[in-house]
Structures are given as structure tokens and as C-alpha cells.
């Protein structure tokens, strides 16, 4: 195998890994409303009353996070990208 071929193969492999990581993060984030209680129940063994109490609070927190924290994170990522693009 030639060296340019290996570089191209490595580039495709890295790009594939990055794209799959992004889709996994998005999938997990969109399903946090049931992932969080499910994982908490593994540690805490919540009863139905506790689960009912927790569910609206998780939903409220996720709504807050989407409206407040995600825009701040996107802004930070944009500023970081702009700084890295400077010579």
C-alpha cells in the first residue's frame, strides 16, 4: 500500500468516527427525559411515587438546559472556532 492511500484511509476512518460520535451525542441528548430516570433507578431503586415526582422536574430541567445552556455552549464553540481560524 502506498503512503497517500494510507493517509486517505486514515482520514476516512477519523471522519467516520467523528460523525458517529456526533450522532450518538444527539441521540442521547434527545432521549435524556427517559435515560436519566432509567439510569437513576439503577442506583437508587426508585418507587413509582418517586419516579412520578422526578419526571416533571427532569423535564423542566431539560427545557431550561435547552433554552439557556445550549445557546451559551454554541456561542462558546463559535468563538473557539473563530479563534482557531485566526492565523
Q: Which tens digits make up the pLDDT trace of 2-45?
A: 677 777 777 777 666 666 656 677 777 788 888 888 888 888 88
Domain spans of the chain? 1-30, 32-87
Mean pLDDT in residue range 58-83: 90
Q: What is the pLDDT of residue 27?
A: 72
Q: What is the pLDDT of residue 17?
A: 61
Write the DSSP symbol of residue 47: -
Q: What is the pLDDT of residue 3?
A: 73
Contacts of 54 (CB under 8 A, 6+ apart): 37, 40, 46
**Phi-psi bin for 73: left (phi > 0), alpha (psi -120 to 50), beta?**
alpha
The predicted model scores a pTM of: 0.59
CA dihedral sign, ordered 38, 54, 59, 25: negative
- Local confidence band at 64 (pLDDT 50, 70, 90 cut-offs): very high
Write the DSSP symbol of residue 66: I
Contacts of 60 (CB under 8 A, 6+ apart): none
Amino acid at each position: 500500500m502506498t503512503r497517500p492511500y494510507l493517509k486517505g484511509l486514515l482520514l476516512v476512518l477519523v471522519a467516520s468516527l467523528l460523525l458517529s460520535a456526533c450522532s450518538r451525542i444527539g441521540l442521547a441528548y434527545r432521549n435524556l427525559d427517559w435515560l436519566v430516570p432509567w439510569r437513576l433507578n439503577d442506583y437508587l431503586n426508585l418507587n413509582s411515587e418517586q419516579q412520578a415526582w422526578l419526571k416533571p422536574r427532569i423535564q423542566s430541567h431539560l427545557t431550561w438546559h435547552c433554552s439557556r445552556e445550549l445557546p451559551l455552549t454554541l456561542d462558546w464553540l463559535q468563538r473557539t472556532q473563530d479563534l482557531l481560524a485566526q492565523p
